[in-house]
Every structure is written in C-alpha cells, then in structure tokens.
C-alpha cells in the first residue's frame, strides 16, 4: 500500500499530508459556504403578490367608507 501512495504522490511522504490538508480544507470551506448560503436563503422573504383592487376594497371597508352589503357585492364582482 505504501508503494502505491508513494508512486501516486511522489517519493516524499510529506507531499501526501500537504495534499490531504488541502483536500480537507476545501471540504470544510465548501461545508461552511453551504451552511452560510442556506442560512441566508432560508431567511429570504418573497414579496406577496396580491390583487390591488381587492386590497383597495378591503381598505375602504376597514375605514368604514362602504357598508358590509356593498363590500360583499363588490367582492363578488372581483372574484
């Protein structure tokens, strides 16, 4: 087994540890990047798409500008 490792990476066993260290560092860096991006994207909120005419109608009703009957009638027309 040692013969295979030495011929793969050269005759110096120190090269094996350098390459192994670089590989481990890249794996840890990738994991860190994954965790950070997942955390950032998890907290992202997307704008809520709503019907502006329905929002206007609900605001009018909430202010008391229109009666409940008129609100229901207009809501039926929008649906």
Locate the domains of the chain by residue range. Answer: 2-42, 51-79
State the pLDDT at residue 32: 98
> What digits encode the pLDDT tens for the residues 42-61?
877 766 656 688 888 899 99
Question: What whole-number distance in Å separates Cα of residue 5 and Cα of residue 13?
Answer: 8
pLDDT at 25 > cutoff 60: yes
pLDDT-wise least confident of 3-7, 10-14, 22-26: 3-7
pLDDT, mean of residues 9-30: 83
The full 3-state SS of the chain, as one line of letters, equals: CHHHHHHHHCCCHHHHHHHHHHHHHHHHHHHHHHHHHHHHHHCCCCCCCCCHHHHHHHHHHHHCCCCHHHHHHHHHHHC
pLDDT, mean of residues 10-39: 87
Question: What whole-number distance in Å separates Cα of residue 64 and Cα of residue 41?
Answer: 40
């Amino acid at each position: 087994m040692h013969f295979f490792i030495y011929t793969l990476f050269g005759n110096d066993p120190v090269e094996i540890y350098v390459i192994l260290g670089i590989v481990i560092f890249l794996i840890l860096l990738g994991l860190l990047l994954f965790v950070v991006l997942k955390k950032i994207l998890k907290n992202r909120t997307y704008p809520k798409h709503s019907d502006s005419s329905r929002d206007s109608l609900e605001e009018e009703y909430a202010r008391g500008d229109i009666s409940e009957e008129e609100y229901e009638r207009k809501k039926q027309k929008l649906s």
